[in-house]
Amino acid sequence: MFRQELGSERHVASLTEVGVSRILVVSNRVSVPRKGARNAGGLEVVIRSLLQRHEGIWFGWSGAVSKSGQNEVRVIEHDGMTCAVTDLSKDDYEEYYEGFAKDRKSVV
């Protein structure tokens, strides 16, 4: 929502009023929607709410490591929200999540 002052009244514009037709969210990890599962946190709550009200897709890692080494993209539609997720290969997971990202956490 966007807020702007119009005289003495505040006007809250929806995304469609300001010309946004579709939303693309790209993140390193997607909270894959599961029936009956609780939301993970604040960012997920906001993204889930946004994508349930506006057409769009959330793309990123599924949170799983591929046993076959294949990195196929799967599209999941659940509760009015669309996600496109991919598993990581074991090498990608180890190099990034167990390597680069872990090393950077100690620097910060």
Torsion sign over Cα 57, 61, 64, 68? positive
For residues 61 and 9, which has the higher predicted lDDT (pLDDT)?
61
Average pLDDT score over the chain? 75
For residues 80 and 56, what is the distance between their CA atoms, to the nearest angstrom? Answer: 10
d(CA 21, CA 17): 9
pLDDT in tens, 9-18: 555 556 556 5
User: What pTM was computed for the model?
Assistant: 0.65
Question: Residue 106's pLDDT is what?
Answer: 53
Q: Are 87 and 61 in contact (CB under 8 A)?
A: yes
Decide which of 104 and 67 is more confident.
Answer: 67
For residue 63, is pLDDT > 90? no
